[in-house]
Amino acid sequence: MNITLTGASGLIGGRLVENLRKAGHTLTVLSRRPADGLAEGIAGVIWDPMQGPPPEEGLRHADAVIHLAGEPVAQRWSENVKRRIRNSRVVGTRNLVAGIAKLRNRPGVLVSASAVGYYGSRGEEELRESAAPAHSYLADVCTEWEREACAAEGLGLRVVPIRIGVVLDAHGGALKSMLPPFRMGVGGRLGDGRQWMSWIHLADLAAMFEYALEHPVRGAWNGAAPGAVRNAEFTRELARALHRPAVFPVPTLALKLLYGEMAEILLASQRVVPAAALAAGFRFQFPELAGALADVLG
Ligand SMILES: NC(=O)c1ccc[n+]([C@@H]2O[C@H](COP(=O)([O-])OP(=O)(O)OC[C@H]3O[C@@H](n4cnc5c(N)ncnc54)[C@H](OP(=O)(O)O)[C@@H]3O)[C@@H](O)[C@H]2O)c1
């Protein structure tokens, strides 16, 4: 297959590029930066999602498009940063779909990132894909982001937005920033630790994107493992995997002082169930946290 990817230089994109290349696909990468460090055989096309549709050469031969690009969410949210987080996704996705609309031969499928932030904070509720979205800054961004991606359905594409949870990998994302304090033995639960955390091993998430490309599925998927845990349990498992104590809880107030409004991500309770993926026959290699952490940290 000819596959065009955005956000290929990021945590998830990097793993996907590696897997898709090994599987023999032909890849084109759309990036804001020149294609310098790209592996042999991968075509690079410069595209800034905020500046309009991608150049036609970036999409012309695509059978499938994977869309991951977006301003990092894990940073202090000033008004400026919030605008960039939203626009890079909402306007960026709109521009990508406008580029697809201009093609004579359109790709068959768009698999696009979204986030479990779609659901807001929902206590004990089990969140399948049919659950209604919340209304908060981040939930609204996710809703609009998915709406822009799903506009490609009107162009004849199959669209699968994947609502991603906390991606587990030792070399990037949330876990990488949690490791130093946990390794020093000063890790601990966040707030009261009762909030549900929906996580997924990077290998499973990459496999899920590939599965959605290759199977006749459409509509949103939850990109989280079946074994969601409370933050306190996550903390215990991580400490156990590292053979360290984790007895220093971080109070809610400290998180709010440290991270401002972004602390809501760390404190939100999201008990996500990957119902659509399981129903479509997708099998997780790492359904439970202990196994996922052992692999990631092993
Ligand atoms: N990792 C997670 O735990 C997680 C959880 C939920 C949702 N997601 C979503 O999944 C997607 C990929 O995640 P990731 O962790 O792989 O992200 P990442 O490592 O931060 O990479 C995202 C990519 O987006 C592009 N980008 C960054 N800032 C941008 C901006 N202001 N405007 C346009 N493009 C920009 C960059 O590509 P170029 O520099 O090549 O242009 C970058 O490589 C993101 O949209 C993220 O929100 C991730």
Tell me how far the alpha carbon of residue 156 lies from the centroid of ligand 1, in angstroms: 26
Q: Give the 3-state secondary structure of the chain.
A: CEEEEECCCCHHHHHHHHHHHHCCCEEEEEECCCCCCCCCCCEEEECCHHHCCCCHHHCCCCCEEEECCCCCCCCCCCHHHHHHHHHHHHHHHHHHHHHHHCCCCCCCEEEEEEEHHHHCCCCCCEECCCCCCCCCHHHHHHHHHHHHHHHHHHHCCEEEEEEECEEECCCCHHHHHHHHHHHCCCCCCECCCCCEECEEEHHHHHHHHHHHHHCCCCCCEEECCCCCEEHHHHHHHHHHHHCCCCCCCECHHHHHHHHHHHHHHHHCCCEECCHHHHHCCCCCCCCCHHHHHHHHHC
Predicted local distance difference test score (pLDDT) of residue 37: 79
C-beta 72 within 6 A of ligand 1: yes
C-beta 4 within 6 A of ligand 1: no
CA neighbor of 283 nearest in space, from 202, 199, 226: 226
CA neighbor of 20 nearest in space, from 28, 30, 31, 10: 28
Residue 125 lies in a domain: yes
Most ligand 1 atoms within 8 A of CB, residue of 68, 110, 138 to mutate: 68
Which CATH number does the domain housing residue 70 bear?
3.40.50.720
Predicted local distance difference test score (pLDDT) of residue 34: 82
Residue 177 lies in a domain: no
Tell me how far the alpha carbon of residue 243 lies from the centroid of ligand 1, in angstroms: 32
Structural domain harbouring 10: 2-167+198-224+271-284
CA neighbor of 138 nearest in space, from 270, 277, 9: 270
**194 within 8 A of 1, measured Cβ to Cβ:** no
Tell me how far the alpha carbon of residue 90 lies from the centroid of ligand 1, in angstroms: 13
pTM of the complete model: 0.98
Predicted local distance difference test score (pLDDT) of residue 274: 98
C-beta 270 within 6 A of ligand 1: no
Phi, psi torsion values for 267, nearest 5 degrees: -105, -15
Residue 279 lies in a domain: yes
Per-residue pLDDT of the chain (298 residues; tens, 9 = 90+): 999 999 999 999 999 999 999 999 999 999 999 877 788 889 999 999 999 999 999 999 999 999 999 999 999 999 999 999 999 999 999 999 999 999 999 999 999 999 999 999 999 999 999 999 999 999 999 999 999 999 999 999 999 999 999 999 999 999 999 999 999 999 999 999 999 999 999 999 999 999 999 999 999 999 999 999 999 999 999 999 999 999 899 999 999 998 999 999 999 999 999 999 999 999 999 999 999 999 999 9
C-beta 12 within 6 A of ligand 1: yes
Most ligand 1 atoms within 8 A of CB, residue of 9, 77, 95 to mutate: 9
Residue 250 lies in a domain: no
**Number of compact structural domains in the chain:** 1
**133 within 8 A of 118, measured Cβ to Cβ:** yes
Residue 80 lies in a domain: yes
Residue 23 lies in a domain: yes
CA distance 276 to 273: 9
Predicted local distance difference test score (pLDDT) of residue 202: 98
Residue 84 lies in a domain: yes
Residue 182 lies in a domain: no
